[in-house]
């Protein structure tokens, strides 16, 4: 994208052909202005605020902007710190071992022969369990073959964004619709969606109506538990009170009235945490295993690093959050995989007032032909932040930008990761994958722990080998893997898997 169109591109008619011309921006200095310096000017688009407001049944971080968004993040950010996330390691290990045992049970062949396994299915179950136990303090029993609760919730979770994406024709009306009064009329009209001849809208409504009651029930259960005693009653949940929603509910009790979220907001936030954390992580983990399969040399080196680290521990002792974080090759591989293959490739912003942003890489003014290092973005212009494209720009990362090179990060400071010391405004590792500024992903540390911990369990136990099938990673609101020629079968990631050392 950057090589062909530069770091600022104009999209005629916007992304969906229905809007004012949009800008697709990957320039580092412009991104800094849009995401950090002038965040109040470039807020979440009205279209996405409407879509996510409907998905999560209410106000939460994706629907709020300006001071209201800042207030919500003040409540949310402290529960995502390393101090809290690191306490989730024992829960994550328990789930990681369930994954390992389930995979081992599926390998009928002896150690010399590999079995073809859809790793996406297993990693999806894992990611849902990690986010539901770590995020909601609830288990969907995702590893049980006939867990109806898993099947239904998971189907809703993986349906809602692809179907939501197909509703782009009505995107401009969604934010107005969800605030329509009287509420009973909105409720009545929304019930009629079940009967309209638009399958995507019907599926979307089913998914939304399936997710919301689950989050509401889990919240009400916690509230009832607190009413029976005190906040410490939350320790009786599956996570021992360490999950994000228990922390959120507890924090919401403690803070000033002005900042406190109402019940509907807490429920919508719980729902946004599950949706935000499930598909992204399942996709990232599947991609990482595919990369390991394509690069047996790297897979072998990673296995050696993990085995050496584990050999320094007692038999029943696991590597903790901080130990996992310090393993250089594991770290370099994660950073590179998340750089080259960002699970969310772009986000959409709306320009609330005219603004001039500086450019790191000059562009030509189309009117005069003169080179300029400034860009005037007029009010109302849709702006797309191209995280995936910025992460792969050869101008920023060098000629080998598209290659997976963990060495890019090893024994180097973050500033040395780009050949010319270009500084990106992302919150993670000089890359844009988790975005930057006040709307950056709060779940970044949670996601990195999940990814590193699952790899630390799988790579020493199994060998992953590529299949002949070609996987097409399709761009939606997130990126989804489909086997070429078998797209109608839905997303999947087939890999050949072998047990290591005849376990
Ligand atoms: C590899 C995994 C992940 C990636 C690539 C990712 C990426 C992102 C990005 C790009 C955004 C900004 C969206 C926007 O501004 O429109 C975001 C927001 C968000 N993410 Fe993540 N995320 C990941 C994992 C997680 C996890 C595990 C959680 C929860 C535990 C989470 C929770 C959230 C929430 C709540 C927001 C909304 C923040 C706001 O609106 O202020 N994410 N994420």
Question: Which tens digits make up the pLDDT trace of 399-435?
Answer: 999 999 999 999 988 889 999 999 999 999 999 999 9
Rounded to an integer, the average pLDDT of 335-347 is: 96
CA 53 – CA 37 distance, rounded (Å): 26
User: DSSP class of residue 34?
Assistant: I
From the CA of 228, how far away is ligand 1's center (Å)? 34
Per the rule left: phi > 0, alpha: psi between -120 and 50, beta: everything else, 21 is beta
From the CA of 372, how far away is ligand 1's center (Å)? 34
pLDDT exceeds cutoff 60 at 503: no
The answer, yes or no, to whether any atom of ligand 1 lies below 6 A from the CB of 277, is yes
pLDDT digits (tens, 9 = 90+) for 3-40: 888 999 999 876 666 678 999 999 999 999 999 999 99
Q: Is 260 exposed, middle or buried (0-12, 13-18, 19+ CB in 10 A)?
A: middle
From the CA of 270, how far away is ligand 1's center (Å)? 13
pLDDT confidence of residue 112: 72
Rounded to an integer, the average pLDDT of 349-365 is: 95
pLDDT exceeds cutoff 90 at 54: yes
pLDDT confidence of residue 203: 96
Q: With 0.85 as the threshold, say if the pTM is over it.
A: yes
10 lies in a domain?
Answer: no
pLDDT confidence of residue 254: 83
CA 88 – CA 73 distance, rounded (Å): 21
467 is in an annotated binding site: no
147 lies in a domain?
Answer: yes
21, 34, 22, 26: which is closest to 8 by C-alpha?
A: 26
How far is CA 87 from its chain centroid? 21
High-pLDDT (> 90) share of the chain, %: 75
23 lies in a domain?
Answer: no
Rounded to an integer, the average pLDDT of 310-317 is: 87
pLDDT exceeds cutoff 60 at 90: yes
Categorize the per-residue pLDDT at 264 as very low, low, confident or very high, splitting at 50, 70 and 90. very high
From the CA of 401, how far away is ligand 1's center (Å)? 24
CA 489 – CA 425 distance, rounded (Å): 39
pLDDT exceeds cutoff 90 at 182: no
The answer, yes or no, to whether any atom of ligand 1 lies below 6 A from the CB of 35, is no
pLDDT exceeds cutoff 90 at 257: no
What value, to the nearest 5°, has the Cα angle with vertex 92 and ends 88 and 97? 155
3 lies in a domain?
Answer: no
Question: Which of 342, 443, 450, when mutated, tests ligand 1's pocket best, judged by the most ligand atoms within 8 Å of its CB?
Answer: 443
Atom index in ligand 1 nearest the CA of residue 73 equals 41
Atom index in ligand 1 nearest the CA of residue 387 equals 10
Atom index in ligand 1 nearest the CA of residue 62 equals 40
From the CA of 439, how far away is ligand 1's center (Å)? 9
The answer, yes or no, to whether any atom of ligand 1 lies below 6 A from the CB of 117, is no
Q: Is 93 exposed, middle or buried (0-12, 13-18, 19+ CB in 10 A)?
A: middle
The answer, yes or no, to whether any atom of ligand 1 lies below 6 A from the CB of 272, is yes
From the CA of 449, how far away is ligand 1's center (Å)? 14
User: Which residue has its alpha carbon closest to ligand 1 atom 17?
Assistant: 441
15 lies in a domain?
Answer: no
Categorize the per-residue pLDDT at 111 as very low, low, confident or very high, splitting at 50, 70 and 90. low
Return the SS3 of 371: strand
Atom index in ligand 1 nearest the CA of residue 69 equals 41
Work out how many domains the chain is built from and give that number: 1
366 lies in a domain?
Answer: no
pLDDT confidence of residue 14: 63
Query: What would you report as the CA-atom Rg of the chain, rounded to the nearest whole angstrom?
Result: 23
Rounded to an integer, the average pLDDT of 48-61 is: 94
From the CA of 392, how far away is ligand 1's center (Å)? 20
Which domain covers residue 197, as residue numbers? 44-346+386-499
24 lies in a domain?
Answer: no
User: Which residue has its alpha carbon closest to ligand 1 atom 14?
Assistant: 347
CATH number of the domain at 111, please: 1.10.630.10
Block residue for tokens 């309209």: 196
Spell out the long-range contacts of 295-299 with Cβ–Cβ below 8 A and sequence spacing 24 or more.
295/404, 296/465, 298/333, 298/404, 298/406, 299/459, 299/463, 299/464
User: Which residue has its alpha carbon closest to ligand 1 atom 11?
Assistant: 441
The answer, yes or no, to whether any atom of ligand 1 lies below 6 A from the CB of 281, is yes
Strand duo 355-364 + 42-44: pairing: unpaired
Which contiguous run of DSSP H or E holds residue 8? strand 8-11
pLDDT confidence of residue 109: 66
Categorize the per-residue pLDDT at 55 as very low, low, confident or very high, splitting at 50, 70 and 90. very high
User: Which residue has its alpha carbon closest to ligand 1 atom 22?
Assistant: 441
From the CA of 264, how far away is ligand 1's center (Å)? 20
pLDDT exceeds cutoff 90 at 230: no
Question: Which of 44, 276, 337, 475, when mutated, tests ligand 1's pocket best, judged by the most ligand atoms within 8 Å of its CB?
Answer: 276
Average pLDDT of the residues of the chain:
92
pLDDT digits (tens, 9 = 90+) for 121-145: 999 999 999 999 999 999 999 998 8
Categorize the per-residue pLDDT at 340 as very low, low, confident or very high, splitting at 50, 70 and 90. very high
pLDDT confidence of residue 110: 67
286 in Cβ contact with 481 (< 8 Å):
yes
39 lies in a domain?
Answer: no
The answer, yes or no, to whether any atom of ligand 1 lies below 6 A from the CB of 386, is no
* DSSP string for residues in 252-292: HHHS-TTTPPPHHHHHHHHHHHHHHHHHHHHHHHHHHHHHH
User: Which residue has its alpha carbon closest to ligand 1 atom 19?
Assistant: 441
User: DSSP class of residue 135?
Assistant: I
pLDDT confidence of residue 492: 93
453 in Cβ contact with 89 (< 8 Å):
yes
């Amino acid at each position: 994208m950057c090589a062909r169109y530069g770091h600022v591109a104009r999209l005629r008619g916007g992304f969906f052909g229905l809007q004012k011309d949009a800008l697709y921006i990957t320039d580092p200095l412009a991104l800094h202005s849009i995401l950090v310096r002038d965040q109040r000017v470039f807020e979440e688009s009205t279209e996405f605020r409407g879509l996510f407001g409907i998905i999560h049944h209410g106000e939460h971080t994706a629907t709020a902007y300006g001071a209201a968004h800042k207030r919500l993040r003040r409540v949310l950010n402290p529960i995502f710190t390393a101090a809290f996330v690191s306490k989730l390691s024992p829960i994550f290990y328990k789930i990681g071992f369930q994954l390992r045992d389930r995979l081992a049970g599926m390998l009928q062949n002896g150690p010399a022969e590999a079995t073809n396994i859809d790793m996406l299915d297993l990693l999806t179950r894992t990611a849902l369990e990690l986010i539901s136990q770590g995020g909601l303090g609830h288990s969907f029993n995702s590893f049980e073959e006939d867990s109806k609760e898993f099947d239904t919730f998971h189907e809703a979770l993986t349906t809602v964004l692809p179907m939501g994406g197909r509703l782009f024709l009505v995107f401009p009306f969604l934010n107005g619709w969800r605030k329509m009064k009287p509420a009973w009329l909105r409720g009545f009209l929304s019930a009629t969606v079940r009967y309209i001849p638009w399958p995507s809208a019907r599926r979307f409504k089913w998914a939304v109506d399936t997710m919301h009651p689950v989050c509401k029930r889990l919240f009400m259960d916690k509230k009832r538990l607190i009413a029976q005693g005190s906040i410490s009653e939350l320790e009786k949940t599956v996570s021992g009170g360490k999950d994000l929603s228990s922390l959120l509910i507890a924090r919401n009790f403690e803070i000033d009235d002005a900042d406190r979220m109402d019940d509907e907001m807490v429920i919508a936030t719980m729902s946004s945490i599950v949706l935000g954390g499930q598909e992204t992580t399942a996709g990232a983990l599947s991609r990482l295993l595919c990369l390991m399969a394509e690069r047996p040399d790297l897979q072998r080196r990673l296995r050696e690093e993990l085995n050496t680290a584990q050999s320094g521990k007692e038999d029943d002792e696991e590597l903790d959050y901080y130990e996992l974080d310090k393993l250089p090759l594991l770290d370099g591989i994660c950073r590179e995989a998340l750089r080259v293959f960002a699970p969310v490739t772009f986000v959409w912003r709306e320009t609330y007032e005219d603004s001039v942003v500086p450019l790191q890489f000059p562009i030509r003014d189309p009117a005069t032909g003169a080179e300029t290092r400034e860009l005037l973005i007029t009010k109302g212009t849709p702006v797309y932040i191209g995280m995936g494209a910025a992460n792969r720009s050869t101008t920023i990362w060098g000629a080998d930008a598209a290659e997976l090179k963990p060495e890019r990060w090893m024994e180097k400071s973050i500033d040395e990761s780009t050949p010319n010391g270009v500084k990106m405004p992302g919150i993670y590792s000089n890359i844009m994958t988790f975005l930057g500024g006040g709307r950056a992903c709060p779940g970044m540390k949670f996601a990195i722990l999940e990814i590193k911990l699952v790899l630390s369990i799988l790579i020493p136990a199994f060998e992953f080998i590529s299949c002949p099938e070609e996987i097409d990673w399709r761009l939606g609101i997130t990126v989804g893997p489909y086997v070429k020629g078998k797209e109608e079968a839905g997303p999947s990631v087939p890999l050949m898997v072998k047990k290591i050392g005849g376990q």
